[in-house]
Structure formats: structure tokens, C-alpha cells
Structure 1
């Protein structure tokens, strides 16, 4: 069971077991960056978030992966960065890649500001391609939790792959993972319903560098907590 599972009582169900997802990314490791070497959309959304924050602002990178490029870029911009991920293998890489940030093992849907495992409050949150790992029913809940982690007026940079999927099993870089997605109008509405104003948006068609990772349409939203 994942870190912070007791916090799921607020969701009204027992904590889901995402062991298989974490193990898959433990195995994938640095091959993720090899398959997705060009991350212009992610870099651009991160830069827009940085531009709206004061020096030294506290930022949470949800689903930090290897720490590249997001956590590293945030640290280089002079921000105070905490990265969280469920994969210990990814966290080990992130700690090596970005020694200037703090990295912790947490499930993204069980993040809390207060309590024994509380992370405190943040000025900004980045969450790039991480909500994909949740069933659709959990994504609005996770977004509401992000809102509780943000200070009033705090910023969120978010990305998803546009797809009409709910907890579907797919092959990915030699592993089997489960993913969800929304069409763009649905995603916009879910984000707004969670208490965010969408301040900027970008869409990219992306062809990964490896043939075993399919082409995708990536949606990037920059948001502000209302």
C-alpha cells in the first residue's frame, strides 16, 4: 500500500493499490527520458508558472519522475522545490539529477498540507502527465487536493494526453500500465470545477523517439487557484 493511504478516508473508499504502476516505472527508469527527449510543451508550461512566482517561491512537482526537466528547471529558476513520486526508482534518479530539490515518496491522490505526512502549503504546483495514472473518478478529487495544497492565488501547471480512456491497460516501454484521459473540453471543465481558473493553454502533437511509445496529443494548462 502506498504512502499516506490513511488519508483516503476523505475520499470515501479504501486506498487503491498502485504497486504495479510503481513497479513498472521502477523498471522503466531513465528510458522514459530517452523515449521522450523533447519536452518543449512541458518546459513552456513550467516557464509560465515560474514567471508568475516570486524568487524563492515554494513549488511542488507532482509525479516528478527523474526530475528532468521540470524539477531541475524550477531549481535553476531559484525556487524551493519538493518533488513527489510513487516510484522509488524514479526518485533515486531524481535525487541524482537534481540535488538541489527534496524528493519524497507519496501517492499523488493522497497528498495533504496538514497531518503527520503533511507537506505544507505551496505557491505553485506542477503536474505533468501524472494524473494519467489515476482512474477518471479519482482525477477531480486529486485536483481538489492540489487546491488545498496551494496558497490563495497559487499557480498550477498541468498536462494530460488527450484521450477518451478510463483506467485502460496499455503497453508502455516494455511494461504494462493503466492510464486515463479526457477530451480537452472535458478536462477544462474538470479543472474549473476543482476551483481553478485556466489562464493559458497549449496543445502539441508529439511523436516519441521510440517506436514502442505511440504518438499523442498533449494538453498543457496553466491555472490559478480561485
Structure 2
């Protein structure tokens, strides 16, 4: 991301304190409410099997560390998990002790400088970008582009919905979410410098009664130069 683009991203970043506090309170109930994650497991398997052994992978919005960080570590990759919820980071450290987990906002991720994470061979971003307002998502994708090595892989998932920063009840809390219809999501991802190499969708009914059924979109992507 160019300096100008990064500054614009920082300017757009909204206060996500309430979002993080909601996930702190939800804790392990997240995995209980979403017990079957076939799409996420399949997309994580694509990363695990496509990457050379020992690849460095960023798990963005790592949550409890399961299933993705655990899946990738088990496959022999080096995982850095990032989440804005301190509670989720602590759970991930307990559940996936071989991973490295950091509490940080997506807008504060950088390759170099203080706290710089370096570059990655791949990024898993499962349901993390939907926590952003739409105005931020193109900048967030460009940030991920900059964190990847050339030809690096991105496994991305979103819920298919035509909404922007929309408040919903979620496991006894309120969170704000955004989404796209699938054609628009493909375009936003392509505009950020990624080639979509495969995609899939799943109808998903969470175990919790206060979370409505949803269509989950999964994109397998590769960074263009």
C-alpha cells in the first residue's frame, strides 16, 4: 500500500472497541455456535496443501485459533495469528501453543517499522473483513496485498449480504458487519490486486438461534504483482 493509501486507511478507521469487547465476552461460545466449518476447513486445506512446507502464514482474525491456525500448524507451517480481541488471542495461545498470536487491529499491520510483521507466503482471512465498514475493505485488501510476497496466496471468506456496517445481534452481543453480493466481492478483490483462482459457497445454519442462516463465500486468490 502506498503511503498516501495507508494514511487514507488510517483516517477511515473507525473505533472498534465495542466490536472487540463483544468478542471478548463471546469467547469459546463462538466455536459452540459455529461447530461445523466445512468451507473454512476446505479453504484452509487448500492453503496447507498448496504451500511449500514451513511456509509463513498470517491468520487474520484468528479467533480461538481453531480450526485454521491449528490446521496450518499441524500441516507444518509457521502461523502468526492476529485478532483485535484480547480474549480471543488468549484462547488461541492456549489452543494452538505452536502458533504466535498478537492482539492488533488490521489497520495497524505493517511489514516494516515498529511492530512490523514482515511478509508472508499466505494469508487466511476468514470472516475478518466483514467486521469492517465497506469504505475500509478495499484499503484492507490492499494492505493484505502488501503483506504478501509476490505470488502469495489469500484465502478469503465473507458472508454474502448487501449490507454496510449493519448492527446485528450476535450471541448475546451486538456487532456491526458488512458484506457484498458475490459478483461485487470478486470485483473488489480483483481491484485490490488479486486473481481469484477458485471459489465456493456454502449455506450455513449456525447452532445458535440468535444468529440467522447465511450464505458463506470462499475465494482462493493469488497476489498479482
TM-score normalised by structure 1 residue count: 0.95
1:139 alignment partner in structure 2: 137
Q: CA deviation at 1:21?
A: 0.3
Q: Per the alignment, in what secondary structure is the counterpart of residue 30 of structure 2?
A: helix
Preserved CA contact (<8 Å) 2:6 2:139? no
Q: Per the alignment, in what secondary structure is the counterpart of residue 166 of structure 1?
A: coil
2:206 alignment partner in structure 1: 208
CA distance in 1, matches of 2:38, 2:139: 28
Q: CA deviation at 1:12?
A: 5.9
Deviations 1:83-140 (A, max 9, x none): 0000000011000000000000111232111111210000000000010100001001
Quick one: which of 88, 94, 97 aligns to 1:96?
Answer: 94
The residue correspondences of 1:29-40 to structure 2 (distance < 5 A) are: 29-40=27-38
Preserved CA contact (<8 Å) 2:73 2:98? yes
Greater CA drift, 7-16 or 142-151:
7-16
Deviations 1:35-80 (A, max 9, x none): 0000010000011112221000000000000000000000000000
2:48 alignment partner in structure 1: 50
Deviations 1:155-203 (A, max 9, x none): 0000000000000111000000000000000000000000000011010
Preserved CA contact (<8 Å) 1:28 1:173? yes
1:178 alignment partner in structure 2: 176
Q: Which runs of 4+ in 1 moved over 6 A?
A: none
Quick one: which of 103, 106, 124 aligns to 1:105?
Answer: 103
How many aligned residue pairs are there?
220
Give the RMSD, CA atoms, in angstroms: 1.2
Q: CA deviation at 1:16?
A: 2.1
Q: Which runs of 5+ in 2 are unaligned?
A: none
Q: CA deviation at 1:10?
A: 4.5
Q: Per the alignment, in what secondary structure is the counterpart of residue 165 of structure 1?
A: coil
CA distance in 2, matches of 1:184, 1:176: 25
Preserved CA contact (<8 Å) 1:109 1:138? no
Q: Which runs of 5+ in 1 are unaligned?
A: 1-6
1:4 alignment partner in structure 2: none
2:125 alignment partner in structure 1: 127
Change (3 A) 1:80 1:168: same
1:11 alignment partner in structure 2: 9
1:25 alignment partner in structure 2: 23
Preserved CA contact (<8 Å) 2:9 2:107? no
